[in-house]
């Protein structure tokens, strides 16, 4: 059985355990790791370091697909804006690394899946912009009712898109936690899902490659649409690995 390696960039957070309090930690919520593993992938986590930004190809050589998880807001300077007062303190090195990996993965035709912040990273990396606080224009409640708690709302999936071909649904409920949204689309991107208030809820490329971002958290609502989406991504990564990267085999247990 071929198990594709899935690259994921870690966030930097303070963590506490026992006597150790507020220790800077490169980490990622286990829900992402667990979902990728359940879908048949093997996650490979990268810390955000200058050496990786300078040479992202070394990381891309190791993996078959790139997964972009949720997290803090992107530095608004990277899409020529001043930061909104509600924005998170940015981790610029993570932004720069994920941008470099997105662009490099696109050059290779490597499958990409972005979730929440990950969709926004895709859009900005490809030249798009973000609306920094949708609560200034719309009711924020369906998208983020309380900081730290996810909410639910329906999304409409656009016909004729990759996303629709994966889910085979016209509409379903998603797990949501965001206050920013795609504004101007990046180069080569189209919207493939929307919320009842008109916000773009998914984006994808039009060149036939697997490059897809969703504004929600599929890892938090796996049954059925979440795991279907992640399995489709892992399957595309497996095919990419077979086509151009060394085949990695997992030995059967004796």
Give the separation between CA 75 and CA 92, rounded to whole angstroms. Answer: 6
pLDDT at 246 over 70: no
pLDDT at 20: 84
DSSP conformational letter for 246: -
Catalytic hit among 52, 96, 98, 116: 116
Give the CA angle between residues 200, 203, 205 to the nearest 5°: 150
User: Among this protein's residues, is 217 annotated catalytic?
Assistant: yes
User: Among this protein's residues, is 211 annotated catalytic?
Assistant: no
pLDDT at 115 over 90: yes
Contact predicate 210/196, CB 8 Å: no
Higher-scoring residue by pLDDT: 227, 251: 227
Q: Is cis: bond before 224, omega within 30 of 0?
A: yes
pLDDT at 192: 98
Token digits for 203? 């984006």
pLDDT at 148: 79
pLDDT at 251: 35
Catalytic hit among 52, 178, 179, 217: 217
Lowest-pLDDT choice from 10-19, 46-55, 62-71? 10-19
Which residues, including other chains, have CB under 8 Å from residue 171's CB and lie 6 or more apart? Answer: 154, 155, 156, 157
Contact predicate 218/210, CB 8 Å: no
Higher-scoring residue by pLDDT: 103, 245: 103
pLDDT tens for 135-193 read 999 999 999 988 878 999 999 999 999 999 999 999 999 999 999 999 999 999 999 99
Q: What is the biggest distance separating any 2 CA atoms in the chain, rounded to whole angstroms?
A: 60
Catalytic hit among 96, 131, 219, 225: 219
pLDDT at 147: 81
pLDDT at 16: 81
Token digits for 69? 């998880």
């Amino acid at each position: 059985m071929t198990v594709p390696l899935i690259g994921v960039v870690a966030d930097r957070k303070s963590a506490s355990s026992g006597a150790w309090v507020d220790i800077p930690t490169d980490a990622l919520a286990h829900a992402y790791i667990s979902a990728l593993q359940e879908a048949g992938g093997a996650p490979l986590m990268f810390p955000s370091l200058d050496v990786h930004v300078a040479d992202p190809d070394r990381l891309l050589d190791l993996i078959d697909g790139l997964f972009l998880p949720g997290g803090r807001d992107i530095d608004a300077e990277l899409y020529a804006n001043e930061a909104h007062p509600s924005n998170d303190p940015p981790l610029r090195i993570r932004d720069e690394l994920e941008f470099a990996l997105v662009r490099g993965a696109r050059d290779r035709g490597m499958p990409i899946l972005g979730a929440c912040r990950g969709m926004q990273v895709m859009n900005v990396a490809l030249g798009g912009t973000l609306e920094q606080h949708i609560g200034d224009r719309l009711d924020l409640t369906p998208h983020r009712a309380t900081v730290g708690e996810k909410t639910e709302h329906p999304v409409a999936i656009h016909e004729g898109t990759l996303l629709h071909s994966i889910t085979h649904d016209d509409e379903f409920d998603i797990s949501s936690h965001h206050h920013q949204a795609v504004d101007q689309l990046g180069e080569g991107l189209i919207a493939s899902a929307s919320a009842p208030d008109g916000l773009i809820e998914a984006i994808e490329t039009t060149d036939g490659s697997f490059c897809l971002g969703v504004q929600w958290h599929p890892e938090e609502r796996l049954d059925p649409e979440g795991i279907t989406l992640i399995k489709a991504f892992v399957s595309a990564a497996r095919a990419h690995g077979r086509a151009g990267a060394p085949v990695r085999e997992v030995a059967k247990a004796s």
